[in-house]
Structure 1
């Protein structure tokens, strides 16, 4: 019984839904007002629609008038077309003054670069020509240097025997000189009695006036005149007992004039040629003084020490000791 009631209820619902779908809302209880209300609604709604359409038409007409001058914009473009007349890279439709200026500047820069490139190319060509011109000279110079080196090498080899012989000759002469120096004291031993005794003994030669005059010039400070007079006297074959004195005074004048090497040579001559004369101790003392004034204090000390050991007279000894104290 309950099943039957449910079946009847479902059937009623189905029929009601079917009838609504076929007849619309007119079958509803609140839809009985009739067609008058529907017509009033349509008239009011239609008036509003007509007003909206009129406003839209007026706005469209105004927009058409605004864009009437631009014919390009009023023409419809095809789907494949664009604003650049078929060339997407052509922006002639939007011409810019800055763009034109940039193109001119770029063109000017390109022209400048081309000019610089031409200058560099011409410079490179000049350098290549210079190198090509200098290459033969360099080769010739190199060959000349090699030939010159070879020639000098041959000459040096040929001169080696001559150089060796010259060295042998120099060594031989040095040995001979050393032998002569060693043999010189032997010749001194055979000398006769000292001339000093002859000068004070009977028959001693008279001192020439020229000697006294030259000595007077020395003592008065006229060293150049005294030197010339003693040199002239030495060339006139003076007495034998005055020769050592003349050499001594010549050396003394050289010392006063600052010619120390010449003075040393004269004093050495007195000691070598007249070792027993009366001017040996004076010559050795003044030789030490000459070396000191020359700046060779070591040599001066050696000579003065030797002078002290030779037992000089007391007056000469005092001079030597005073000179040594001055140097030290």
Structure 2
């Protein structure tokens, strides 16, 4: 009994020390906690690295898209410049085509003048020649016509040329060049910017000579006159009618070009 009393302080100290010593379970939990902390830190580092890579990839993609957009814009600008150049060339070709058509018209008129002069000479085989030194040479209808057209086309003396042509039409209403003269009266009105008169004059040529080549020219210029006045609806109707009536003519080709541009 005395021994037990002596052992009590020792046993109490042992129990106290036993409470201060970690158990195996506590050690295991501490190791698990440290492992979790380590894995969490590793995950955070991996996530940060992944986000950095994704940020770099996104930045690279944005840069690539920007470069692609810049390339497409440059290509578009180049195409627009090419289109402008083509439009310029088409305009030049159209102008050249108009000039060629006018030249051909004048050549045709000139041939008509020569034929008329020959026919006039053949119809008067017995006419006596006047002495040029004593009698003035009267201007022939053909010369009058030629002079009037030159005033309108080359000299831009529209009113004077128109007056001569109207005199020609009064004196020679059945002449082979009367249709051409009527057309050039319309051109003179157009040159004077008397557009309503020009439209009516071209319509007179069309109504009275629907099968004549000058009817196609009158129809084209009538449509152009409406365009000049800003009446594109009427111009379209006239150009369409011209293409339908004279599909193989040079005027129809020009009408198609203008229709496509409207």
TM-score range, shorter chain: 0.3 to 0.5
Higher RCO, 1 vs 2 (CA within 8 Å, ≥6 residues apart): 2
Q: Rg larger in 1 or in 2?
A: 1
| TM-score scaled by length of structure 1 | 0.36
TM-score by length of 2: 0.45
